[in-house]
Structure 1
Amino acid sequence: MYEQVSHTLLNEILNRIKPEISEQDLRHFYTRLGANFYAIHSLFERLYGDRDDFAEQAQQLVETMAENYIKRPEKLRQLDLARENDYNWFLSQKWVGMALYCEGFAGNLQGLQERLPYFQELGVNLVHVMPIMRCPEGSSDGGYAVSDFRDINPELGTLEDVVALAEAMKQRDILLVLDVVVNHTSNMHYWATRARSGDKKYQDYFYTFETRNIPDMFEQSMPEIFPETAPGNFTWDEEMGRWVMTVFNDYQWDLNYSNPAVFIEMLGIILFWANQGADILRLDAVAFLWKKIGSTCQNEREAHLILQLLKDCCQVTAPGVVFIAEAIVAPVEMIKYFGEDAVIAKECEIAYNATFMALLWDAVATKNARLLNQGIKSLPVKLERATWLNYIRCHDDIGLGFDDRDILLCDYEPARHRKFLVDYFTGKFDNSHARGLPFGQNAKTGDTRISGSLASLVGLECALEREDNAAIADAIKVILLLHGVIMAFGGIPLLYYGDAIGTLNDDSYREDPVKQEDTRWVHRPSIDWDIADRRNTPGTVEYEIFSALKRMIAVRKEIEVFADFNNRELIEVKNPHLFVFGRYHLQKPNEQVLVVANFSKHPQHLNLEDLGSWVARYRPLVDLYRGKSPDIFNNSLVIPGYEFYWLSEG
């Protein structure tokens, strides 16, 4: 869009641009910059326009984009052009992801490259490698306390190893996802050490205060993230003689995005990792980017403006790269991280469907889909060119952040129901075989979250210990049921490493003084590849799970209606144990798939006449996953316990 004020500024910037930039071939860069500059200028002015150095900072912003474009490898520039032409590429049903810790999965980056055939064997073609940047030993928060944003944890390898991994993955058509921690740094980062030494420039990179007056004002409205291990939101730094905002842990200093220099630094870091070959960048803790007295300092309007600006700038330099928003917030807030454009995602194209994850765990515990159905009805519709990451487990805890109104509509009392879920998954409830652990217990609010591997939470660990073959079979069915739902729901299914082979809780973290206070390490295992090799041995648990998921992934990739174009319809049925929804093709009305999931241990039936146009009365149904017809008696579909169907008309 042409707008005189912004383009006058752009002309001034280009007239002053460094010769080492202007002398380069910047044809595509200038085209994209011109197309996006009105939005970039509007956002940058909204955030920083009242500063005396606004023009100087705008100059630096454009030069940062240009310098990173010049450094962008030619193969990645060509990939940008291809993805600009196929702009819905990430909405395809062919993508299936896996999140992993490099060290736990393969030891280091070279080991991960050697394990790429495992992903191809399973059918995974999107791999999220959890944080790999340099962190202080002992105060790393699992990789999220970064001390150098442009270097790698030396135990994992080198930058050259990252580039080699990215190239090897591209040769196998596997997408690489990397983390950028945008909200905070380690207190050992260069910026923090300079601030600690008294450098005013770098003190302004953070929120630092001489007295408790301003921190105390913030504390009146800010919640505590880790009340057990890191109470409060500010830490006194003795050497600096100032209070510093530390929302997560006392060794993680929150960045001050009201300073444009911070924004430009972080943009440069994002573009740096795009240039190393990352296809997708996961932006961590985006809900916390803007701090305001009198608020919770989460989900502020300015945080969204920052993300929009990052996206617009990235579209100029590396338009083939998309963003994941790591914002585990209420659905009404979560949907905003896609952006507020009617069609195009203007912030992050991908976001975690944390509410769906939590609702699935509720269905596992209650053996019914009442809250799952109710919660999905309350999930806002996403933008057309955005998609969810649907997951069962991840590196983090399971939070029970359901809307109290939805819980009440299911005739549960919110506090009692959440206590039941915690008791169930920590094995305190009668007849529960779950082996989870509590995390983040807050004595003030009563809130508790849950740690544990998928296999241990659904009872596989307990069943194996008891050598109970029936219970083992049931646990495997639940694992497959949950994956069958996320594969079909709409979005990118994201498996967690170890889940495809039934990896149990790893209690070794208790022996590590750095990790022993954080129960989340129980589900951050080191893969035993001798055990993993059992996936090729019929009759083993590993084989049963892996071979079923391998087939499930292969079938998913062939079902076009599983692509994510807001083409899902929730179907309410009378049977409370069933979760039923339909997927349909926007251009081909006759192509549709009915998904039916039974969360009860016992067989359930569904009257097909209640499904209206979703099922033709006299046309046979085929379960696409199994390749055969389901059991139907007198027009009632029978769904075995802990089973699911992907039904299409034959």
Structure 2
Amino acid sequence: MYEQLSHSILNEILDQLKPEITDKELNHFYTRLGANFYSLFSLFQKLYGKRHDFKYQLLKLVEVMARQYIMRSSLLKQQDLAREKDFNWFLHQKWVGMTLYADGFAEDLPDLAKKIDYFTELGVNLVHIMPILECPKNASDGGYAVSNYHKIDERVGDLQDISIIANLMKERDILLVLDIVVNHTSNEHEWAEKARQGDRKYQDYYYIFNNREIPDMFEKTLPEVFPQTAPGNFTYDKEMGKWVMTIFNNYQWDLNYQNPAVFIEMLDILLFWANQGVDILRLDAVAFLWKKIGGSSQNEEEAHILLQLFKDCCQVTAPGTLFIAEAIVAPLEIVKYFGEDAINAKECEIAYNATFMALLWDAVATKNAKLIRQGVRNLPDKLERATWLNYIRCHDDIGLGFTDDDILQVGYEPRSHRQFLLNYFSGKFEDTAARGLLFGQNPKNNDARISGTLTSLIGLESALEENNQHKIDLSIQHIVLLHAMIFSFGGIPLIYYGDEIGTLNDYSFMGNLSKANDTRWAHRPKIDWQKAQKRKIEGSIEYTIFTALQRMIKVRKEISAFGDFNNRELINLSNPHLFAFLRLDIHGKNHILVIGNFDASYQYLNLAEMHHNLFRLNDMNNNIIIDLYSGESPTMFKDQLVLSPFRFYWLSIN
């Protein structure tokens, strides 16, 4: 009965489509629309079914999908068909990513286009260009306050530049990733300007209130994202004489998805960028999409419905396009952004493994693997057709996103342990080599997050200051170890630009008034390409790190067990400094034992304790245990595997 209703409404909609749509070739569009419409209709009805204009809004939704399908190039339509056929294509171990700023990695987009060979040289074949859409000069939140979704910021280039980059990347089988900020706009966006001028239509695009009554109700339970620099969640607009919800910064107005027109506008934007040749759309701040009084307005059920609806609509028009969920939330909440389906990712195919990232940094500070073992053990399994982005560093701060329960399980007191980590990375201990900066300090509870480049946080900056070669070598080995973990854990490894050549903190932001209060700019550097040329000079730090990652990428791409098919098994070890897991080859070829030493001293592992239901490692000898990264047999003493400081192995088990 219910499905019959959806089909009846679909027929009504198709009858109302305008000739400029129906006169076009729409075979694949109609097939996909029919296959997805029951789900699409059901989701749309859950959110907007009580509105009097429900059918009209549904018609507008289908029109947007159809128009964008018509505008999609024949090349992209062929790509859609190929990816539909090979629907697990993005789970392959061949993908290795890099995230960068166009005006940090290069001067601008035209200059970036000239540097695409650099990605091929390193082995990177997925490139995430940080926000490049038009935004105000001094109130942009690093590009996340968009004032025009259809225009590139003129400071970095234009649409033609993106077209050139997309085509060059396709020629090299490199995936292009761009950000779309779906939760909010700049207060200088056209919609906000019209709302400010009194246009009721566009005032309904945001959460706008005449007085503080409703905002005060929200504030009782809403957390503060930036308590130090942007306290509160509402901003008074003098020109409009009203209060606007601004969860992040006072110049970022939250969009009101309880209005279907907002959803349809944003879908049109997503499909527009899919049609520019973007392979993966990174959806920013998805946890915040639906606002409710009485809660945190994060991870609401309706936010997940919105993402499912975005995905269903994209499956109709541009099914070869993937979504990344930018949801830096608790471990049990993160996996929900893949979707609740047992197999298919019905929301976003890719999500950031923020928990693993935070656990790696805990291991850096403690020099042991106790918490990382505990946290990974409790990390929920992902869906079959979904994958993680595994990263050490990103453009954002480092939050300590593991649970208090996990901290307690390994014998630490949560509050004091978190304070220890903040003190360690901000250099407040005499024996710490970290050169980190605190971000987002909350004076109410002393909570904070951490800024700084990988190399400065790991100790390379201080080692160079001391001119201590031993410490420099240890820091480099530590950097390589962390990359070995994200390259083998299961998912797409994501290198942060500059890490591959040992880029240090950039303190120049302190002299820029628009950046001085945001310590995250310390790890958003401008690449010195003269310094980068040292990657070709044997013996230099740049050469040592670059060639190590270059080899790691090459080896990773050859190991089928590193494909992401829920084929990882954690191994419990008696040595607290060692972290180990098994990557099972689903084709039954070579299984891989990944093991890393997180201590600055030598450690060993008794193979006798390594029993597994598929094989017994202690029955094997040096002749058949090979470290695939080095191509050599690991260091052994009798049945003990020896690991030097910050050493890792990728051991092939036949």
2:101 aligns with: 101
Shift of 1:591: 2.2
- For the 8 Å contact 1:420–1:429, the answer to whether it is kept is no
Shift of 1:213: 0.3
Give 1:445-484 correspondences, 5 Å limit.
Answer: 445-484=445-484
Give 1:425-436 correspondences, 5 Å limit.
Answer: 425-436=425-436
Shift of 1:3: 1.9
- Which residue identity lines up with residue 400 of structure 2 in the other structure? L
Look up the SS of the partner of 2:619 in the other structure.
coil
Matches of 2:364 and 2:445, distance apart in 1: 25
Matches of 1:373 and 1:534, distance apart in 2: 37
2:643 aligns with: 639
Look up the SS of the partner of 1:149 in the other structure.
strand
- For the 8 Å contact 1:595–1:647, the answer to whether it is kept is yes
1:622 aligns with 2:626: yes
Count of residues paired in the alignment: 649
- Which residue identity lines up with residue 618 of structure 1 in the other structure? M
TM-score normalised per structure 1: 0.99
1:522 aligns with: 522
- Which residue identity lines up with residue 273 of structure 1 in the other structure? W
Look up the SS of the partner of 1:211 in the other structure.
coil
Matches of 1:139 and 1:160, distance apart in 2: 26
Give 1:357-436 correspondences, 5 Å limit.
Answer: 357-436=357-436
Give 1:4-15 correspondences, 5 Å limit.
Answer: 4-15=4-15
1:593 aligns with 2:592: yes
- Which residue identity lines up with residue 244 of structure 1 in the other structure? V
Look up the SS of the partner of 1:154 in the other structure.
coil
Matches of 1:507 and 1:177, distance apart in 2: 28
Matches of 2:218 and 2:197, distance apart in 1: 25
After superposition, the C-alpha distances for 1:485-521 in whole angstroms (9 at most, x for unaligned) are 1000000000000000000000010111000000000
Matches of 2:445 and 2:245, distance apart in 1: 22
Matches of 1:301 and 1:430, distance apart in 2: 47
- For the 8 Å contact 1:235–1:245, the answer to whether it is kept is yes
After superposition, the C-alpha distances for 1:381-408 in whole angstroms (9 at most, x for unaligned) are 1100000000000000000121001101
Aligned Cα RMSD in Å? 0.9
Give 1:31-70 correspondences, 5 Å limit.
Answer: 31-70=31-70
2:611 aligns with: 612
Identity %: 64
Shift of 1:410: 1.0
Matches of 1:545 and 1:585, distance apart in 2: 28
Matches of 2:61 and 2:573, distance apart in 1: 54
2:134 aligns with: 134
After superposition, the C-alpha distances for 1:424-451 in whole angstroms (9 at most, x for unaligned) are 1111113111100000000112211000
Matches of 1:548 and 1:2, distance apart in 2: 58
1:497 aligns with: 497
2:224 aligns with: 224
Decide which moves more: 600-609 or 301-310.
600-609
- For the 8 Å contact 1:603–1:640, the answer to whether it is kept is yes
Matches of 2:573 and 2:258, distance apart in 1: 50
Shift of 1:585: 1.6
1:191 aligns with 2:191: yes
1:260 aligns with: 260
Are the structure 2 counterparts of residues 616 and 83 from structure 1 closer, same or farther at C-alpha, using a change threshold of 3 Å?
farther
Matches of 1:43 and 1:424, distance apart in 2: 47
- For the 8 Å contact 2:364–2:598, the answer to whether it is kept is yes
2:553 aligns with: 553
Shift of 1:607: 1.1
1:174 aligns with 2:178: no
Look up the SS of the partner of 1:612 in the other structure.
coil
Look up the SS of the partner of 1:146 in the other structure.
coil
- Which residue identity lines up with residue 644 of structure 2 in the other structure? P
Shift of 1:306: 0.1
- For the 8 Å contact 2:618–2:639, the answer to whether it is kept is no
2:568 aligns with: 568
Matches of 1:331 and 1:422, distance apart in 2: 21
1:288 aligns with: 288
1:441 aligns with: 441
1:488 aligns with: 488
- Which residue identity lines up with residue 42 of structure 1 in the other structure? S
Structure 1, gaps ≥5 residues long = none
Decide which moves more: 363-372 or 421-430.
421-430
Look up the SS of the partner of 2:164 in the other structure.
helix
Look up the SS of the partner of 1:336 in the other structure.
helix
Matches of 1:106 and 1:4, distance apart in 2: 55
Give 1:198-347 correspondences, 5 Å limit.
Answer: 198-347=198-347
Look up the SS of the partner of 1:98 in the other structure.
strand
Matches of 2:511 and 2:587, distance apart in 1: 57
- Which residue identity lines up with residue 98 of structure 2 in the other structure? M
- Which residue identity lines up with residue 513 of structure 2 in the other structure? P
Matches of 2:204 and 2:416, distance apart in 1: 45
- Which residue identity lines up with residue 495 of structure 2 in the other structure? L
Matches of 1:500 and 1:463, distance apart in 2: 18
Shift of 1:586: 2.1
- For the 8 Å contact 2:331–2:402, the answer to whether it is kept is no
- For the 8 Å contact 1:455–1:479, the answer to whether it is kept is yes
Look up the SS of the partner of 1:440 in the other structure.
strand
After superposition, the C-alpha distances for 1:528-575 in whole angstroms (9 at most, x for unaligned) are 000000000011000000011000000000000000000000001000
- For the 8 Å contact 2:593–2:653, the answer to whether it is kept is no
Matches of 1:82 and 1:178, distance apart in 2: 22
1:27 aligns with: 27
1:150 aligns with: 150
- For the 8 Å contact 2:187–2:251, the answer to whether it is kept is yes
Matches of 1:18 and 1:146, distance apart in 2: 32
Shift of 1:2: 9.3
1:602 aligns with: 601
- Which residue identity lines up with residue 354 of structure 1 in the other structure? A
Look up the SS of the partner of 1:277 in the other structure.
coil
Matches of 1:445 and 1:335, distance apart in 2: 28
Shift of 1:616: 5.5
1:124 aligns with: 124
- For the 8 Å contact 1:109–1:157, the answer to whether it is kept is yes
After superposition, the C-alpha distances for 1:591-641 in whole angstroms (9 at most, x for unaligned) are 200000000011111111211135261343100000000011121111111
Matches of 2:653 and 2:304, distance apart in 1: 44
After superposition, the C-alpha distances for 1:107-151 in whole angstroms (9 at most, x for unaligned) are 111111100010000000000000000001100000000000000
- For the 8 Å contact 1:500–1:542, the answer to whether it is kept is yes
Matches of 1:559 and 1:609, distance apart in 2: 26
Look up the SS of the partner of 1:323 in the other structure.
strand
2:351 aligns with: 351
Structure 2, gaps ≥5 residues long = none
- For the 8 Å contact 1:624–1:648, the answer to whether it is kept is yes
- For the 8 Å contact 1:178–1:278, the answer to whether it is kept is yes
TM-score normalised per structure 2: 0.98
Look up the SS of the partner of 1:179 in the other structure.
strand
Matches of 2:139 and 2:123, distance apart in 1: 35
After superposition, the C-alpha distances for 1:439-479 in whole angstroms (9 at most, x for unaligned) are 00001122110000000000101111111000000100010
- Which residue identity lines up with residue 551 of structure 1 in the other structure? R
Matches of 1:37 and 1:2, distance apart in 2: 12
- Which residue identity lines up with residue 345 of structure 2 in the other structure? A
Shift of 1:587: 3.2
